[in-house]
Structure 1
Amino acid sequence: MKPPIGRDTRLCMSLSARPGNAGSRLHNRLYELLGLDYVYKSFSTTDLPAAIGGIRALGIRGCAISMPFKEAVIPLIDRLEESARAIDSVNTIVNDEGVLTGYNTDYAAVRDLLERRMAKPLPFLLRGSGGMAKAAVAALRDAGFGDGTIVARNETAGRALAGQYGYDWRADLPDAGAPLLINVTPMGMEGPDSEAMAFPEEFIAACDSAFDVVALPVETPLVRAARAAGKAVISGGEVVVLQAVEQFILYTGIRPSPEQVREATLFAHGPDVAASLDA
């Protein structure tokens, strides 16, 4: 049984431009299942340096970092673990007695999904060039996806990302799509971009698989259109669960069982995401 919240309870948190409830629900459910004296809360901020200073000063054990803070947070922490250093993007901070270390668990989640869900590497078209895009592109390269194009309006970031991993870059979508479509932009995210489609319908009709990293909501316009067209789909809900489990392990030192992860996923995200973990 989880102890009641008290002075010894350890706090973990997340920082995001648009905080949601799913991450808090998943972590807190795992704490309940494992009887751990932890509590998890999501936050937003307009003062990132002050927020990171608060993590250090208040002894907050860990913090998940989401858009748009994954790169901006790097100068504010003390160390980078290899996954974050190689990608130059942080999605997790671990506080060890005031020393803040940055990790990137997005990379591991995306690579795991690609290797488990894709029968073979496919030529891909990826939209985005931010922190999550860096993790996704590195995972694609390391999973053997050798033929791809990065679409990013930010020429400096897009060219650099494509060049680092040996892919092509372009500012706008080409005339035709690719067998694998990947959205790593806010298109489809809850808020002002919620109805935006990352790729046109003709691209979706011609593809084999669609991968949308947006997790709020899980059923983005791209995911809905790809499912309706009978395409294989990987959703942001799957990414967020797998990377959150790796964060949970970093914070607590405990690896939950697959059954516990599935129960927490069902509680936090519902049956569709929970079922997809068994795919």
Structure 2
Amino acid sequence: MKPFPPKPPIGPDTRLCMSLAARPGKFGSRFHNRLYDRLGLDFVYKAFTTTDLAAAIGGVRALGIRGCAISMPFKEDVIPLLDGLEGSAAAIDSVNTIVNDAGRLTGYNTDYIAIAELLDKAELSREAPFVLRGSGGMAKAVAAALRDRGHRNGTIVARNEATGRPLADLYGFDWRADAAGLAGSLIINVTPLGMKGPDAEALAFPEETVAASDVVFDVVALPVETPLMQLAARLGKRRISGGDVAIIQALEQFVLYTGVRPDIAEVEQAAAFARSA
């Protein structure tokens, strides 16, 4: 492998990238910074949270911050603060990535890219029913990817009818307030249930729903082994993890920010490093 130049010391030309989330994690910072170090790129990445989204995005613009990852609960609220949306973000009205080009902020959705890639790799039947739990920004990305792949027989489960029913109607799926009695060949959790914090021990679907499924997809990335994923493993189900989503979407963000696409070995090494903390 061709050696890369050493990373320059931090100075006035160093470019800053960042993330905004209600619960900042370590994965993005470790993944991006590891690749900066390995590839000799004059960038630094830092995770933040905020109670003032407008001021935070104003800071991205005013300070020349090159890129900003957007996580729950900001993926939809950030849209009015941007100058434009790239295709996938515009189609689903959800942003997980901002790129700053000389003060012009454009929103992207690399979640959609990651989910579509993982669904294709899983070679799921387009005729089989699915159940998707959640109705936020990430749920939009998953629902759009399923619709675009040709899936038609699906149910959106969301306690909040004001967000769940419109999401289901938008993509031609059914809506239910709860998952009791539902079954799907594919079940997908796109809620914080199972995420570190107050919902860490929560199971996103009833055990009978998991038992009746063929493939279990949990978008929660921290931890990767959520209660839902642990149950799926015990029941011998095929699994798609939030960790898989995190790697692909972070890689696409990295490319948008830097213009550099690392080879697969570098990506795998950075992902392993990011998960090791």
Structure-1-length-normalised TM-score:
0.95
Which residue matches 2:53? Answer: 48
Shift of 1:86: 0.5
What is the identity, as a one-letter code, of the residue corresponding to 2:214?
A: D
Shift of 1:232: 0.5
1:160 paired to 2:166: yes
Task: Select 2:202's aligned residue among 196, 207, 219.
Answer: 196
Give the match's secondary structure for 1:109. Answer: helix
1:67 paired to 2:98: no
Shift of 1:142: 1.1
Which residue matches 1:261? Answer: 267
| Alpha carbons of structure 1 residues 88 and 249: separation in structure 2 relative to 1, 3 Å | same
- Where in structure 2 are there 5+ consecutive unaligned residues? 1-5
Listed as ranges, the matches of 1:68-107 within 5 Å are: 68-107=73-112
Q: Hey, what's the Cα distance between the residues in 2 that align with 1:42 and 1:154?
A: 29
CA RMSD of aligned residues (A): 1.0
1:245 paired to 2:274: no
1:216 paired to 2:230: no
Listed as ranges, the matches of 1:141-156 within 5 Å are: 141-156=147-162
Shift of 1:170: 1.1
Structure-2-length-normalised TM-score:
0.95
Shift of 1:156: 2.1
- Where in structure 1 are there 5+ consecutive unaligned residues? 271-279
Contact kept, 8 Å, 2:179 with 2:206, in 1: the verdict is: no
Shift of 1:169: 0.7
1:136 paired to 2:151: no
Which residue matches 1:23? Answer: 28
Which residue matches 1:235? Answer: 241
Task: Select 1:185's aligned residue among 184, 188, 191.
Answer: 191
Deviation larger for 125-134 or 112-121: 112-121
What is the identity, as a one-letter code, of the residue corresponding to 1:222?
A: L
Which residue matches 1:8? Answer: 13
Q: Hey, what's the Cα distance between the residues in 2 that align with 1:93 and 1:74?
A: 10
Q: Hey, what's the Cα distance between the residues in 1 that align with 2:29 and 2:225?
A: 19
Q: Hey, what's the Cα distance between the residues in 1 that align with 2:140 and 2:64?
A: 29
